[in-house]
Structure 1
Amino acid sequence: MAHSPCPNDTFAFHAWSHGLVPGAPEIDVTFADVDITNGMAERGEFDILKVSYAVLPYVLDEWTLLPCGGALGRGCGPLVLTCEPGTADDLAGKTVAVPSERSTAYLLFRLWAAASVGPLPSAVGVPPAKPGGGPPAGIGKIEVLPFDEIMPAVRDGHVDAGLVIHEARFTYQNYGLHKLADMGEHWEATTGLPIPLGAIIAKRSLGEARLHDLAAAARQSVLMAWDEPEASRSYVLDHAQEMDPAVADQHIGLYVNEFTAALGDDGYAAVRGLLTRAAAEGLVPPLGPHALEF
């Protein structure tokens, strides 16, 4: 299995990765940023991965979405940060750093920007179309950076704005930055659905019985984490990239929630809504009618 070293993942999967879930299949965990795991999914590497929901349309022939273990929620969306307060119009023609072109954060950003800024480039560095009399010209350039490098890049003037995820929601003020827009607020206001961020997927070739075992193990690991939150504390902090313990706790409280234990009807509706809407805008391939079924 490969997943991020972020507190939500290490907290949720501590029991499973340490062999504490009774009867669960054993897993060998590799830590990798989501941009890396997205690529792993497209190359068919590993058996279980934590990936961006945005990558699902490209990989669901080989992988299946597990109904638990992922990251969805409310009030937890990616943010666009700038050095000075501003509005969406201020991004016209500017350079924006993003954590991955296949990240859910970037997909949510593209949907927001299409409504708020104007057309976006379809690839890094490709200028957008400039329709006469339309919305603002759009983002000038997209630059992909590791998520932990984005806030310093904005602060130091290397990029005009940054799309941030994870614990940056709690720490951006420490960099002297300002929130220009909240992608989650826009998503929730326009859909009423929770914000889909990260998914747990597993190889279809493992077979139906093993896939159900994996889903059960993921769910039980989450429940055990809630039952004994201190059991994982040292493991979480060891991998939290020098994160303040209070920030790690905020991170877990926001991103490990009822949708982590079970996607449920609202969770599936959010995922389907995001990918259907993005497909309608030509941002991702369309999903088949049963693509998300487990």
Structure 2
Amino acid sequence: MSNIIRIGHSPDPDDAFMFYAMLNDKIDNQGLKIKECVEDIESLNNRALNGELEMTAISWHLLSKVYKSYAVLDPGASMGLGYGPVLIANKDSDISFPDLKGAKVALPGRHTTATLIMRIFASNFVEEFVPFDEIMAAVKNKDVDAGLLIHEGQITYEEEGFKKVVDYGELWHKESGGLPLPLGTNAISKDVDPETAKKMAKILLDSIVWGEKNRQETNDYARDFGRGLSEDKNDRFIKMYVNNKTISLGNEGVSAVNLLFKLAFEKGLIEEMPDWDLIKP
């Protein structure tokens, strides 16, 4: 196996925060040469379907399709702790929830966990797949009736003039009995030998810990991925999705992932209950 590891991550502050140290010679990469591939999460999901990258960010939803070819690294998960994707509409909208009465909804990708959560909890809506950073514009221009926001849109939609229909993180917290909401994670190809996979888990952990100990420097780097976020909002967003469950899922995090798959399987939204693997440092 080559010592070159291609890593895919999305162009967002939380991912950039996690990977800064390993990509900028701040930690020991244990002889591995790491090459960065930055693409939106749905593009990375599609690349994972084709097994293109040794390591990549993926949606938990997609894991149900690639668990036989990719294992989950622990650390590296993005889990909402009472917050998550937000369904928004224009302030003059009379859209209802959970029955959306035929509304057209902009979704951020077929394989995203946000889309899966929408399908689990909402009904009677028309799906329109729109790049995540174009969803607000689609709602504002009334190309769609509502939009499901991921990434920093979750904390900026009010100042952009929209209203919240539902925060799926809040809903999940209530319906799951307080479990975190699984959204994304980092996965490594099972073609990578086990020793190297464990090395990458350790490198990722070291990179996150270094970032937390050197927050200002790492935040400044990550802010370039925030599409105009202020310094305060950038720090807030990073802390939302680089949290204690990122360091380790723990039993609670694993239970949350399995509950997500159970609900999706019972509704016929995934083909099988995945028997997924977890790799720790």
Give the TM-score taking structure 1 as reference length.
0.87
Q: Give the 5 Å matches for 1:187-226.
A: 187-192=172-177, 193-226=179-212
Matching of residue 230 in structure 1 with residue 216 in structure 2: yes
**Worse-superposed segment, 201-210 or 236-245:** 236-245
SS where residue 196 of structure 1 aligns? strand
Q: Which runs of 4+ in 1 moved over 3 A?
A: none
Which residue matches 1:123?
none
Q: Distance in 2 between matches of 1:22 and 1:209?
A: 16
Matching of residue 104 in structure 1 with residue 113 in structure 2: yes
Q: What residue identity is the alignment partner of 1:197?
A: L
CA shift digits 1:126-181 (9 cap, x unpaired): xxxxxxxxxxxx11x21111111101111111110001011112111122110011
Matching of residue 278 in structure 1 with residue 264 in structure 2: yes
Q: What residue identity is the alignment partner of 1:201?
A: A
Cα distance, 1:246 vs. partner?
2.1
Which residue matches 1:127?
none
Which residue matches 1:161?
146
Q: 2:19 aligns with which of 13, 16, 33?
A: 13
Q: Give the 5 Å matches for 1:259-274.
A: 259-274=245-260
SS where residue 77 of structure 1 aligns? coil
Cα pair distance change 1:237/1:158, threshold 3 Å: same
SS where residue 27 of structure 1 aligns? strand
Matching of residue 172 in structure 1 with residue 148 in structure 2: no
Structure 1, unpaired ranges of 5+: 119-137
Cα pair distance change 1:110/1:90, threshold 3 Å: closer
Cα distance, 1:243 vs. partner?
2.6
Structure 2, unpaired ranges of 5+: 1-6
Q: What is the aligned-residue identity percentage?
A: 31
Q: What residue identity is the alignment partner of 2:263?
A: R
Which protein is richer in strand relative to its size? 2
Q: Distance in 2 between matches of 1:291 and 1:69?
A: 15
Give the TM-score taking structure 2 as reference length.
0.91
SS where residue 64 of structure 1 aligns? strand
SS where residue 75 of structure 1 aligns? coil
Which residue matches 2:61?
54
**Worse-superposed segment, 78-87 or 206-215:** 78-87
Q: Is the 8 A contact 1:81 1:163 kept in 2?
A: yes
Cα distance, 1:253 vs. partner?
1.4
Q: Distance in 1 between matches of 2:246 and 2:157?
A: 25
Q: 2:52 aligns with which of 25, 45, 50?
A: 45
Matching of residue 35 in structure 1 with residue 20 in structure 2: no
Q: What residue identity is the alignment partner of 1:148?
A: D
Cα distance, 1:223 vs. partner?
0.7
Q: Give the 5 Å matches for 1:46-125.
A: 46-84=53-91, 86=94, 87-88=96-97, 91-113=100-122, 118=123
Q: What residue identity is the alignment partner of 1:96?
A: V
Q: Distance in 2 between matches of 1:105 and 1:187?
A: 12
Which residue matches 2:3?
none
